Structure 1
Amino acid sequence: MFNIMVRTRMFDNPPARRRAGAHPIRWLGILLIIFLTLSARAALQFDVFLGYEGVVPEASWFPVVCEVKNDGPSFTGTIEIVPSGNINQDQNRSVTVELPTGTLKRLVIPVFSTTRYVNQAVWDVRLLDQRGKVQAQQTSVRSKKQVAAGTTIMGALPRTASGMPIIRQGSSASTLEIQPASARLQTSILPDNPLTLEGMDCFYLNSEKAIELTVNQVDALLAWLNLGGHLIVGVEQIADVNGTPWLKKIMPCDVSDMKTVPSHAELQDWIRAGLGGVQRKNRNNTSNPFSDLAGDRTFEAAPLQVVSGKVRNTSEVVLSAESTPLIVTSHQGRGRVTALLASPEREPMRSWKNLPAFWAKMAEVPANVYATENNNNYNYSHGGWSVDGVFGAMIDSKQVRKLPVGWLLVLLLVYLLVIGPLDQIWLKRLKRPMLTWITFPCYVVLFSLLIYFIGYKLRAGETEWNELHLVDVLMNGKQAELRGRTYASIYSPVNAKYKIENQQHFSTFRGEYVGSWGGGSHDSEQADIVQNGDNFLAEIFVPVWTSQLYVSDWWQSAALPINFTITSEGNDWVVTVENHLDQPLTEVHLVVSGKILDLKEIPAEKPKTFRLSKNDGMGLKDFVWQHGSGFQSAVGGRHQAFGMGGQSQINDLPNSCVAISFLSYLAQTQGQRELVTPPGMDLSPVAEHDNAILLAWESDSAPIKPMNQFPTRRSHKNTLWRMTAPLNSQPSSL
């Protein structure tokens, strides 16, 4: 009875009834909020694709593709890429994107990799709205595989997933970071920025996929090819080639028919012959790891369908079977196109047991990777200081000087003598030992002022901005494609932030990369980089009395700044250099047949012809050693806190820049690779393949507008133009 009465009174109370009725409404509101939140999240899809199918190379730009699908309300978003690993903590990148309702957008953001280790390369990628609120994010995004600089990477657009090229892996003596990698890319997210393709050594393209590429993707691929890439085309059908004008134009042969080759043992013999590949030479004289490769009788007994046609005059037949070309290659700029006339994605090649070894040879994987003996020397050669440090030693402000270690020791010794014996003797004579409580703080203040004064005299100066441009001139019809690397050094007399901008067609920005010996990170302060379309606007922080190095990589179409031709006449080279610039080229060198010749000065806006004996000139390796042997000590000296007797500065800029262009010869002379270079900087492979290289120095001039958006009291700018041309050799006959 008591319980019944209590419940009756509770429901007779009006406030109690209101509270009881409020509970369903409250829960309904909570459920509504949860539903709306989940609906908003479902309306926004945010995906991030890192590198080349998760493969990221060291010391190279790679693409971060962000795919945003917005089925919710329209808004203007900002995508931020923030490093969260052990490196690049202060190098943040962002890009703004309009996201109307019902749109799907893909953005390619170039990011520079500064490590070879997966556990160090971690990024947080966020999508923010106009108020800075996070709408979607992918945290702790890391690569599937991180590879060392110089490791072979093959990108691929196969016809099917099962046709993906798989490169044979190296021996257990080789570390994971130098194992070759292949990456299957999708046409929908293939980057259209040529800078982000430079991390790949070669690219396999099935002819059936060529028609799916957009105009911008094709332009980026051709630019990468012109700079030195290796495009491998697997021909599926004749119509694939003839129906795609850009592909037909660069093919090394005209395809017109299909035929069957019943016997093709030459393919296996070609692999057993060694890992020289299509072009690469075996510099290290490593034994052939495929010499005892087992045969595949099933493959050899199966007939092979081959596309046939006419090989062009400028092309070379790499491999034939029964007089039928199977592999044909030709040069395109500094790069080359290789046609596989028997599709590797069809039987019997698809089931060939030695297909991974075939891809290893096509990708020109160094034979050292497959060495079964101790491979420590080769592993070691893939690390070192970065070549950025060499450029820093050239253009760092001379206003910054370092206190020699000897003087530091003298200063320390004097300080110890003053606060110790001298103070005791002086106070003892005065018979006032208790005054040490006053004299000691005075000594500290005095020496602090002295140290500040020394620092002021050694490092104080005026705002300074120095630029050094390394520009590759690539022919594109009658025009030129300029692939530039701008090294910029800024000195600041105060703690300050500075704005930097580059408006070239494609441009990126990064801090100094110190290399694996320096911990694999940027050696620069905070930088906020905003990608504005395909170029950038950055704000950097420079501490007081310091000099910081930054790098901008860029592409730009332009009129030809220089041009040259070279022909062989008996025992002479006849070279004609055309200078289309409004300033003279003060120091010009020509590299040909393993030698370097000095052409002196080329006047402005005039051509000049030289007749040079083939016996003249200096050996290229000797030149590189003469002007580059001090690079290692200069880079190491820059990272020392105290002076090293002037070893951290390089004063001969023209010859040093020429030596940098052939750094692999320096590594051969020294017996190890001590400087890590980004892709495309080293022209040694180009020089070895019957090409002449012109290197022209233009003083006090720049090919682009100054990147600094602030006034400076001091400034210097110089440019090294680099251009290649094939020697007039006879085309190979069939």
Structure 2
Amino acid sequence: MRIENRMPRFALALAAALTLLGSAAGQSYPIKIKSVKIGFPHGPNPTQRDDDQTGSYVCKANTWAPVYVELQVERKEKRDLAIVLETTDPDDLGTSVAVPLQNLSDVEPGTILSAAELAFLPCVRIGGRELTVTVREREPAGANPTGGRQVAEPKRLSYVRSRDTSTYVVLSLGSRLPGFEVPAEPKAKDDYRPAKVEQAVIDNPFLLPDRWYGYDGADLVVLATGSASVPNFLTPLFTNPQHKPRLDALVEWIRRGGRVVVSVGSNAGIVASFPLLQEILPMQVRKDAPNEQVKNLLLEWVLAANNTTKTKQHGTLIAKTGTFSVANFAPQPGRGARQIVPPVDTVRENARLAVVQAPYGLGRVTLVGFDLDRSPFLDHPEKAQVWEQILRECGSERATQSGNKNNYGNYGGVVEDELATDIRQHTDSFASVPVISFGWVAVFIVLYTLLIGPVEYFVLKKVFKRLELTWITFPIIVLTVSAIAYFSAYALKGSDMKVNKVDLLDIDPATNRIYGHTWFTVFSPRIDTYKVGVEPSERWAAGGQGSSLVDWAGAGSGRKSSFFRRSYFYQLAQPGDATAGTFSDGLVNVPIQVWSTKAFAADWSGQSDRQAPLVASELNHPPAKPDDVVGTFTLNLPFPELQDVYLIYAGEAYKWDAITSGVPVNAYLDRSKLEPDWLRKLSSLSGFVNQPNVNPRSGTATKVSTGLAPIFAAMFHDEAQRNEDTAAPRNATLRRLDQSWRLSTLHRDEILVIGRVPIVRDQPAEDLMTDPASPSPTKLWLRDLPVSGKKREPQQGTLQQETFVRVYVPVKPFKK
């Protein structure tokens, strides 16, 4: 009878639950996500295809990529909304980032908003293979973006088709670069051959990233100005204020180490009218006579990438009928440029200046004086060889070279490049935290097993003769052993937070900018969540100016994400937001387990105080010997001195004494100080060199790593692999740091000064980050984000600091 009475109520409850589930499943959202594309729009020959057999957009594993989202408005929406992207990091922790949408209250139902019509372009860095995109109510700054009410059904991509990190991506802006190709087979044994080259194309300025790291996946950007798309792309990009955030992002990417090629010919007059583009170029396009007509043009290249003065001919451009346009160049005031085509010492009838190159910040800018997207270049029988030379001499010498190494780990997971792995493992090595060997763990497990098994049984059976007492003794044993294990680990590993940090400083006096690259690992003594931010110290960024990007470090796993994973989110200020331009970017609620580590990386920039410049240069070329250097320079750095110093000029390195801050340096380049093997010697300082060290807790000797982080190898990667012809590149995600191209014998407009600050080990973290003479150029925020005007919470625990410095000291023509 009771069962019969309960059945109707159970049936009603079940029906109600099914009704709720059905209504939730059939819920109508005001916004519909029609499509999601990750990466740059593909070129004519995509190497991967989506499930619908259309070309897959070009994104690389372990790098940032733009995300193009197409929305449909189902009904008017007055709330503030944001696009939220959710993925995972290498530790299988969930990450999310939100990008605001424009006001949709006046958008009529049924309207489709393409990616080009959205106010901001989302970007994401994928550590796994999955991505979820949705639209939610926009949460206030500092709040988890996934907490907002959902207003669109999520779009889940279970398998992101990313290229591996060794792929060399050529991103063409404005033009589809017809005829782009590289040779399929080498003609000679020493010919360069790209292993994996893929072209991407953005021909709509509204699809350009509006954050500089949106170009993270591009190895070389080509801006060809000869096509008919100039009125629809180039002119709006440089004249329409609506595109200013996009243009600023592109320029900032170049300043931070991007490589770009600009070809100018038939539309040279238009190019000459854009002041910002003229500023970026190695030489100006003449306004009075921007171009002239020629019948032919000899293409004879200097092989600067090989650090030689050898030349290589790639035929002559010849107009089929009549003539073709070639740009006229004029020197940039106060700046030099490297002449590439023709070679400096070439004297021929038709040898005119066609290709020049110069730095812009840390970037490499090449100006080609003829159209790469129009005839006669499109009809040139050796255009593939010319493109090969452009990739090599204007991008990176080894970036497209592959070896026999597999770029994929287990289950398709992407392995980070070797240099990034070496740096991360270096910062993850805490000498003062003893590592318990597996042998001791195995012994402990055996003893524990014996204790809860035979020992407990024997005691209860033979001593107490009451086996039922196991209900009491078993929990006591488990709790006791757990307490012993915890307090033993506590005694060994300690209760202090520890941070290992490495900073690379690039100081560019020409633009009064400092570019910082920071890698650090946090050792947490407890289960905790952290807000992670990085800002340069006041002496490295006058008035708190600058911008930073804080990110995770590691290799994507490629695994399916866990259902019960914990998560954190990025706080990124969008261009136009009130917080844009302040140190507000960072990571929020990053979970770190007890006695565990988490690795991070950051890119930041700032401006030094013009009233107290970090570099004062009086270097110039004497008129009698224009290839030599005379004069002095002074490094006014916050720390006392640099050691392991080298001065590099015209491809040659001179060993120098330690440079003391504030003391003028006479740049007399004594050839007796030449060090042909300088980079190998510096690289040998890296790695793990074991020396005895006393553990302060136990008083016993331990082994610690005293080697340096492999930063010198990252500074000049291609040069470090000069004699390894078949070696695969080791810097796929660190290519922006490689300045090997400045080591050419033709590079005579600056002296590179490289060195490091003596390493500081396990000192109080707050003292190191606040001391005016500290070797640490950055401050870590681990409890809050460095928003302007907010006071930083003092950093607890200890810090190990390594600082490397690279200064670009300008050399100017002699002043009479």
**Shared topology, TM-score over 0.5?**
yes
SS of the residue aligned with 1:239? Answer: helix
| Partner residue, 1:11 | none
Alignment match of 2:780 (pick from 690, 706, 709)? 706
Deviation at 1:497, TM superposition (A): 1.5
Deviation at 1:69, TM superposition (A): 8.3
For the Cα contact (< 8 Å) 2:645–2:655, is it kept in 1?
yes
Matches within 5 A, 1:572-721: 576-587=632-643, 589-592=645-648, 593-595=651-653, 597-603=655-661, 607-609=664-666, 611=668, 613-616=670-673, 618=675, 619-630=677-688, 650-653=705-708, 657-664=711-718, 677-688=733-744, 690=747, 692-697=752-757, 700=768, 701=774, 702-708=776-782, 709=784, 711-716=794-799, 719-721=803-805
SS of the residue aligned with 1:128? Answer: strand
- How far apart are the structure 1 equivalents of 2:561 and 2:379? 43
SS of the residue aligned with 2:165? Answer: coil
Q: Is the counterpart of residue 156 in structure 1 residue 156 in structure 2?
A: no
Stretch deviating more after TM superposition (410-419 or 613-622): 410-419
| Partner residue, 1:24 | none
- How far apart are the structure 2 equivalents of 1:144 and 1:452? 41
Listed as ranges, the gaps of 5+ residues in structure 1 are 1-33, 115-119, 635-644
Q: Is the counterpart of residue 232 in structure 1 residue 261 in structure 2?
A: yes
Deviation at 1:240, TM superposition (A): 0.9
Deviation at 1:348, TM superposition (A): 3.5
Question: In the alignment, residue 545 of structure 1 is paired with which amino acid?
Answer: W
Aligned CA RMSD, in angstroms, stands at 5.1
SS of the residue aligned with 2:515? Answer: strand
| Partner residue, 1:488 | 520
Deviation at 1:687, TM superposition (A): 3.3
Distance 1:107 1:46, change over 3 A: farther
Higher helix share: 1
Distance 1:520 1:562, change over 3 A: farther
Question: In the alignment, residue 509 of structure 1 is paired with which amino acid?
Answer: V
Q: Is the counterpart of residue 316 in structure 1 residue 349 in structure 2?
A: no
Stretch deviating more after TM superposition (615-624 or 133-142): 133-142
| Partner residue, 2:369 | 341
- How far apart are the structure 1 equivalents of 2:736 and 2:560? 20
Alignment match of 1:218 (pick from 247, 260, 276)? 247
Q: Is the counterpart of residue 400 in structure 1 residue 455 in structure 2?
A: no
Question: In the alignment, residue 484 of structure 1 is paired with which amino acid?
Answer: G
Question: In the alignment, residue 60 of structure 1 is paired with which amino acid?
Answer: T
Matches within 5 A, 1:502-581: 502=534, 505-514=546-555, 526-533=567-574, 534=580, 535-537=584-586, 538-559=588-609, 562-563=614-615, 565=617, 576-581=632-637
- How far apart are the structure 2 equivalents of 1:354 and 1:148? 29
Listed as ranges, the gaps of 5+ residues in structure 2 are 1-25, 42-56, 108-116, 139-146, 187-191, 238-242, 409-413, 536-544, 575-579, 692-700, 761-767, 769-773, 785-792
Deviation at 1:450, TM superposition (A): 4.2
- How far apart are the structure 2 equivalents of 1:281 and 1:729? 26
Deviation at 1:197, TM superposition (A): 2.4
Distance 1:169 1:711, change over 3 A: farther
Question: In the alignment, residue 624 of structure 1 is paired with which amino acid?
Answer: L
Distance 1:328 1:133, change over 3 A: same
- How far apart are the structure 1 equivalents of 2:158 and 2:463? 67
For the Cα contact (< 8 Å) 1:63–1:196, is it kept in 2?
yes
For the Cα contact (< 8 Å) 1:621–1:666, is it kept in 2?
yes
For the Cα contact (< 8 Å) 1:306–1:326, is it kept in 2?
no
| Partner residue, 2:220 | 202
| Partner residue, 2:131 | 123
Matches within 5 A, 1:149-298: 149-159=165-175, 161=176, 163-164=177-178, 166-168=180-182, 178-207=196-225, 208=230, 209-213=233-237, 214-235=243-264, 236-251=266-281, 252-255=283-286, 256=289, 258-263=291-296, 266-267=298-299, 279-281=304-306
Q: Is the counterpart of residue 81 in structure 1 residue 81 in structure 2?
A: no
- How far apart are the structure 2 equivalents of 1:306 and 1:73? 53
Deviation at 1:584, TM superposition (A): 2.3
Deviation at 1:82, TM superposition (A): 0.7
Question: In the alignment, residue 585 of structure 2 is paired with which amino acid?
Answer: F
SS of the residue aligned with 2:152? Answer: strand
Distance 1:626 1:106, change over 3 A: same
Distance 1:259 1:86, change over 3 A: same
SS of the residue aligned with 1:462? Answer: coil
Alignment match of 1:329 (pick from 345, 353, 356)? 356
Distance 1:81 1:323, change over 3 A: same
Deviation at 1:446, TM superposition (A): 6.1
For the Cα contact (< 8 Å) 2:193–2:388, is it kept in 1?
no
User: Cα deviation per residue 1:464-503 (whole Å; 9 max; x = unaligned)?
Assistant: 45543323223454x32x3222323323222121223457
Alignment match of 1:106 (pick from 112, 119, 123)? 119
- How far apart are the structure 2 equivalents of 1:169 and 1:87? 41
Deviation at 1:548, TM superposition (A): 1.7
| Partner residue, 1:52 | 40
Distance 1:137 1:620, change over 3 A: farther
- How far apart are the structure 2 equivalents of 1:464 and 1:656? 21
For the Cα contact (< 8 Å) 2:645–2:657, is it kept in 1?
yes
For the Cα contact (< 8 Å) 2:506–2:515, is it kept in 1?
yes
For the Cα contact (< 8 Å) 2:296–2:316, is it kept in 1?
no
Question: In the alignment, residue 530 of structure 1 is paired with which amino acid?
Answer: Q
| Partner residue, 1:722 | 806
- How far apart are the structure 2 equivalents of 1:182 and 1:330? 23
Higher strand share: 1
| Partner residue, 2:388 | 360
Distance 1:263 1:97, change over 3 A: closer
For the Cα contact (< 8 Å) 1:400–1:546, is it kept in 2?
no
- How far apart are the structure 2 equivalents of 1:582 and 1:296? 53
- How far apart are the structure 1 equivalents of 2:161 and 2:325? 35
Stretch deviating more after TM superposition (675-684 or 378-387): 378-387
- How far apart are the structure 2 equivalents of 1:558 and 1:67? 42
Distance 1:669 1:339, change over 3 A: closer
For the Cα contact (< 8 Å) 2:516–2:603, is it kept in 1?
yes
Distance 1:322 1:247, change over 3 A: farther
SS of the residue aligned with 1:706? Answer: strand
Q: TM-score, normalised by structure 2?
A: 0.65
- How far apart are the structure 2 equivalents of 1:383 and 1:282? 29
Alignment match of 1:459 (pick from 465, 486, 493)? 493
SS of the residue aligned with 2:737? Answer: coil
**Max Rg structure:** 1
Deviation at 1:713, TM superposition (A): 2.5
Deviation at 1:540, TM superposition (A): 0.9
- How far apart are the structure 2 equivalents of 1:683 and 1:727? 18
Deviation at 1:443, TM superposition (A): 7.2
Question: In the alignment, residue 257 of structure 2 is paired with which amino acid?
Answer: G
Deviation at 1:697, TM superposition (A): 2.8
Deviation at 1:420, TM superposition (A): 9.4
User: Cα deviation per residue 1:603-640 (whole Å; 9 max; x = unaligned)?
Assistant: 3x554446553332652232234212449x99xxxxxx
- How far apart are the structure 2 equivalents of 1:308 and 1:360? 22
Stretch deviating more after TM superposition (547-556 or 405-414): 405-414
Deviation at 1:693, TM superposition (A): 3.5
For the Cα contact (< 8 Å) 2:202–2:208, is it kept in 1?
no
- How far apart are the structure 1 equivalents of 2:417 and 2:441? 29
